[in-house]
Amino acid sequence: MHKLYNVCVNCWHKEQYCKCDKKRLESIDYNMISILSILNKKGYKTKYCCGGHSEKSFIYIYINFQGDYNFLMLPEGFIFKKRVLYYRNKKLKTKIEKQKEINLKIKILKKWVQEIEKNI
C-alpha cells in the first residue's frame, strides 16, 4: 500500500511532530522513513527515494544518495550504481505478489541500514 507522509528531513519527525527551527518537509513513502532516517543520521546523505508500489507494472525500490559512497556490502538483491541503490523486479504479475516482494525487500533494506557503519 502506497502512503506518503510529510517528514522534516532535519529531525526526521512527521510534520505534526516536528519542532525544528529549520523545518524542511519532504514527502516520503511511509515504508522508507526509518530507512532514510538511519542512513542520514549515520552520515549517508540521501536525495530521493521510492519504496515500491504494488499498483505499478513492476517493482522499483531505490535510494538516490547525494555523495559517492563505497559500501562494502549491499542488501541482498540490490544494486548500487551511480549513487543509486536499487532493486527492480519485472517478473511478478499480481498486486499481492508485488506487495509481498516489496515487504520482503524493505525488511532486507532495514536490516542492512541498521548494520552498516557510520560514514566517517
Q: Domain segments of the chain: what residues?
A: 4-115
What is the pLDDT at residue 93? Answer: 87
CA distance 79 to 62: 9
CA distance 58 to 16: 33
How many other CB atoms sit within 10 Å of the CB of residue 38? Answer: 16
How many other CB atoms sit within 10 Å of the CB of residue 1? Answer: 10
Element (H, E) at 97: helix 95-115
Report mean pLDDT in 10-residue bins for the chain, 120 residues: 79 84 85 93 93 90 94 95 95 91 96 87
The residues facing 87 across adjacent strands are: 61
Cell 511478478, residue?
92
What is the pLDDT at residue 17? Answer: 86
pTM above 0.85, yes or no: yes
Joined together, the cell numbers standing for residue 79 give 544494486
